[in-house]
Amino acid sequence: MRTLISTAFVSLDGVMEAPGGEPGYRNSGWTFKDVEFVPEAFEIKGREQKEAAAMLLGRVSYEAFSAVWPDMEDFADYKAMPKYVVSTGLTEDGLVSNWGDTTILRSLDDVAALKETEGGPLIVHGSATLNHGLSDAGLIDRYHLLVFPLLLGAGKRLFSATDKDTQKLKLVEHEAYANGLQKNVFDVVR
């Protein structure tokens, strides 16, 4: 069974929207505009590329990342990695040709079936709506969170607002940095 890892930049109040400067959000670019850069805090991002076997994305994040990540040196290890996009509306002609093999999954049941296959970890970047569905369906095994010392108020949140039973997490790695950033790695307790 494959491990499904959700990785995100989040504000202290749980917002994950537009951390890199994506248009249309009031506080777009909050990860680099408002917090001093400390390189050691981002070590986990390089490690994720080395440890992941495939990427899982929602349609909106796929469309945003596939427009820029294939040509970025910082994301070179993701270029050849298999990608899975969960979407009911995306078609094959909506996929880019310069970012490795990409498979469209139509449902969370398809994701659950993918998790049952052989292979290394699946990593989810961005993808707020997909994260909500995966969490609510009990499909996420681990969270890699870089928590920024900011309160952004409105914006897409990493965690679902669904009324559900408590889900326990076990802190397996953590570190705080001089700029107030915190790395928190949690395993989902089953």
pLDDT (tens digit per residue) in 137-149: 999 999 999 999 9
Residue given tokens 């749980």 in the structure block: 14
Mean residue pLDDT of the chain comes to 96
Q: Is 73 exposed, middle or buried (0-12, 13-18, 19+ CB in 10 A)?
A: exposed
Structure tokens at 166: 């408590």
Tally of residues, the chain: 190
Q: Look up the pTM and report it.
A: 0.96
Task: Find out whether 105 and 143 touch, Cβ atoms under 8 Å.
Answer: no
- pLDDT higher than 90, residue 34: no
Of residues 115, 113, 144, the one with CA closest to residue 51: 144
What integer pLDDT is reported at residue 24 of this predicted model? 92
Distance CA 108, CA 24 (A): 28
Task: Find out whether 57 and 126 touch, Cβ atoms under 8 Å.
Answer: yes
Structure tokens at 79: 């270029």
Task: Find out whether 7 and 124 touch, Cβ atoms under 8 Å.
Answer: yes
Average pLDDT estimate for 35-62: 96
What is the phi/psi pair of residue 109, to 5°?
A: -65, -40
Of residues 60, 30, 46, the one with CA closest to residue 147: 30
